[in-house]
Chains A and B, each alone.
Chain A
Amino acid sequence: MHSSFQLAFLIPLLPLIGCLINGLGRNWLSKQWSGLIGSGTVLGSFLISLLVFQTVETGQDAVIAYFDFIRVEGLHIPFAFQLDALSSLFLLIITSIGFLIHVYSIAYMHQESSSSFARYFSYLNLFVFSMLLLVLGGNYVVMFIGWEGVGLCSYLLIGFWFKNLESTKAANKAFIMNRIGDLAFLLAIFWLIIKTGSASFLEVFDFIQANGGTVKFSATDITVVTLLLFIGATGKSAQLPLYTWLPDAMAGPTPVSALIHAATMVTAGIYMIARSNVIYSLAPFTMSLISWVGLATAFLAATIALQQFDIKKVLAYSIVSQLGFIFLALGSGAYIAAVFHVFTQAFFNALLFLGSGSVIHAMGGEQDIRKMGGLSGKLKITYFTFMIGCLAIAGLPPLSGFFSKDAILLSAFLHQPLQYGLALFTAFLTAFYMFRLLFLTFHGSFRGTAAQQAHLHESPALMTVPLILLALLSVVGGWIGIPSVLIHDADRLGTFLSPVVGPMLHEVSHATKWVLMTVSAGGVLLTLGFAGYRFSNYSATESKGIFRFFEHKWYVDQLYEHVVGKPITYMSRLLNEWVEPRLIDALVNRVGRSVQLAGKQIRFLQSGKIGSYVLLMVLAMVTVLLVQFFIRK
């Protein structure tokens, strides 16, 4: 085993240590120290991840079992890490963006008291630990530990400002929505263990490849397992119908939104499906379902994002939309395209969120873009980096989003032309709403109060440096996957990932590829121009018709409220107001009252007069003696 693999256990361990130090010492640590420990441990993980990545790049991979996690008759689940192309790539994404966001947080959270500052970094480190465990896990069970851990940390961090009822509610919503998916994931794990007798990725996949479709693992098994895993993924990765928690999750601190709800945790479901690609490639029904769900989510979220006025809400829906794109790619069987988009969107989405954090910071907590405008003068660095993020997500060549989105569109085109058309339209919508956001925030004239205008300032270097680095990565991040039609043999990502997820299928002529690329790039340019023309001079108007429908988020929250929330509330009220007092209370009270009643009758025997006690005693003794005497006879 390569020596860098022997260090792999440190990758998740370092953030865990940081979490413990910050969590236990939060009352003694100064802010400098907690910040230093929090980001230092993640930096350490990043450096080791780099080493591991370099080793994997030379073509090595390994499964390292550390100790027995579960060992019973017929089932052996080791605590194992799997180091291969897929996991090492995710390691890099998580630790690099994680580190930048830790650094950014030091400046962003500076107003917190030192104990809650340390608490924040403790949660953040715990999150990085769980996420690393999730991608490193060599079997579904270890993955599930990380899976639950990130859910927990997401809950803790969304509700970080727990004195705010809004945050607490959003945290609960995220947790409960995720639980639905987690249950399905757990069922899928049980199903796999029962059928294959193992939870290790390699063993399970070997078993299914050998026995898939036979009696040992029938087509029904494949469909059920893939569907259950997919439901798990919809919870974590915010797809229809479980996506509504993600926009609400923006109640947490902005760096948290950037790290958890943009760059890393929401990609857990995608990672899981890409990891399980062996099973999925045998389940055509699930695949087409995934692609349609992804497309529907992308489209729905894009339309909602058109009409939102909260800067973070727009970004939240853009995330949901991007994740929908990724699921579309997964459903089309283009795992490389999916992972590629995960890779690039992690950079530009984290960048956009951190940029919005910088804006909110400058505006003194204001998040409504109707009250912003003309910020480009004061927040130059934020403006330029944010613009790069917008261009990247819109998919303008040669920024990263172009290449990954192009790969997804190509895979959709190969899979089903109808999906391609819808996806292309959604991509244009993406460009449109991102530029609406950019123009409303940074162009035109300032629409806020005079006090806010006086407060406007560029953020400190701790915040702008991560922005610049992420902007740089958003530009060049796509260059690892340049399709061969542009530069021959430049698709390094595809070559790197193909041992794990299988090669990309390209059965199209170069001419078609050129046409597709030109269409998407040209369309995006046109959309950008239109958005610029439309929003360069913004004045607030009431939205009408279908846009009103979009502004209210398709009334999905209300629908859930009426279909799920209300019935549960009514049921609880019925139980509380009728079953509880009339049935349960009545029963318990009757028992108590009958004992009291009986006691009232018997208490007269306890007169307190010694004479009567003695008399009773004597009478009892005489009775016993007499009874014994006669029975003997």
Chain B
Amino acid sequence: MPINYYLFLAIALFSIGVVGVLTRRNAIIIFMCIELMLNAVNLLLVAFSKMHYNQAAATAIPVANPGIDGQLFVFFIMVAAAAEVSVGLAIIVMLYRNIHSVDINFLNRLKH
């Protein structure tokens, strides 16, 4: 399958995530959109990794495990995302306890 399909899918996912973050007010949905963006990036990394592997195999140059660093990055991102989820969800829970809402526009008190 050509790389273009993966790219378009990743762009679509990323744009959905950005628009979601910009337009929605519910903190949980924003959170989900952030995850969406992260996964769009993951998808890209995996796709390019596969592409590099195929190209290396076609030229038959002996390269040990071509494209593997892209996949490695995906694991890093997943770990970071998992950590972020735990922190982020905890913040949202505390938010709800304090203002009984998850609407981020209630939180415009940063300026004071």
Contact = CB atoms under 8 A, between A and B. Distances in A.
Interface of A: 606-611, 614-615, 618
Nearest to A613: B110
B4 interface: no
* Ranked 9 nearest A-B pairs via Cβ: A608-B111, A608-B108, A608-B110, A609-B108, A610-B104, A615-B22, A606-B111, A614-B21, A618-B18
A618 B37 CA distance: 13
B58 interface: no
B25 to A, nearest CB: 8
B54 to A, nearest CB: 26
Nearest to B104: A610
Contact of B22 (A606, A608, A618): A618
B104 A611 contact: yes
Nearest to A603: B111
A609 B106 CA distance: 9
Interface of B: 18, 21-22, 25, 104-105, 107-112
A185 to B, nearest CB: 66
Nearest to B21: A614
Contacts of B107: 610
B105 A611 contact: yes
A385 to B, nearest CB: 84
A611 B22 contact: yes
Contacts of B112: 608
A606 B104 CA distance: 16
Contacts of B109: 608
Nearest to B23: A611
Interface of chain B: mostly helix, strand, loop or mixed:
helix
B22 A614 contact: yes
A92 B25 CA distance: 97
Nearest to A622: B18
B105 A609 contact: yes
A611 B111 CA distance: 14
Contacts of A607: 108, 111
Nearest to A621: B18
Contacts of A610: 104-105, 107-108, 110
A119 to B, nearest CB: 57
A611 B20 CA distance: 11
Nearest to A606: B111
Contacts of B22: 611, 614-615, 618
Nearest to B19: A618
Nearest to B112: A608
A624 to B, nearest CB: 15
A384 to B, nearest CB: 88
B41 to A, nearest CB: 14
Please indicate which of the listed interface residues A606, A607, A610 has the most CB atoms of chain B within 10 Å of its own CB. Answer: A610
A614 B110 CA distance: 14
A607 B105 CA distance: 11
13 contacts: A607-B108, A608-B108, A608-B111, A608-B112, A609-B105, A610-B105, A610-B110, A611-B25, A611-B104, A611-B105, A614-B22, A618-B18, A618-B22
Contacts of B105: 609-611
Contacts of B25: 611
A609 B108 CA distance: 5
Given A610-B110, A615-B22, A618-B18, 20 more contacts: A607-B108, A607-B111, A608-B108, A608-B109, A608-B110, A608-B111, A608-B112, A609-B105, A609-B108, A610-B104, A610-B105, A610-B107, A610-B108, A611-B22, A611-B25, A611-B104, A611-B105, A614-B21, A614-B22, A618-B22
A346 B95 CA distance: 90
Contacts of B21: 614
A295 B26 CA distance: 101
A104 B63 CA distance: 104
A368 to B, nearest CB: 73
Contacts of A606: 111
A179 to B, nearest CB: 58
A626 to B, nearest CB: 15
A44 to B, nearest CB: 74
Contacts of A611: 22, 25, 104-105
A608 B111 CA distance: 5
B8 to A, nearest CB: 18
Contacts of A614: 21-22
Contacts of A615: 22
B18 to A, nearest CB: 6
B62 to A, nearest CB: 33
A608 B107 CA distance: 8
A187 to B, nearest CB: 64
B91 to A, nearest CB: 13
A618 B23 CA distance: 12
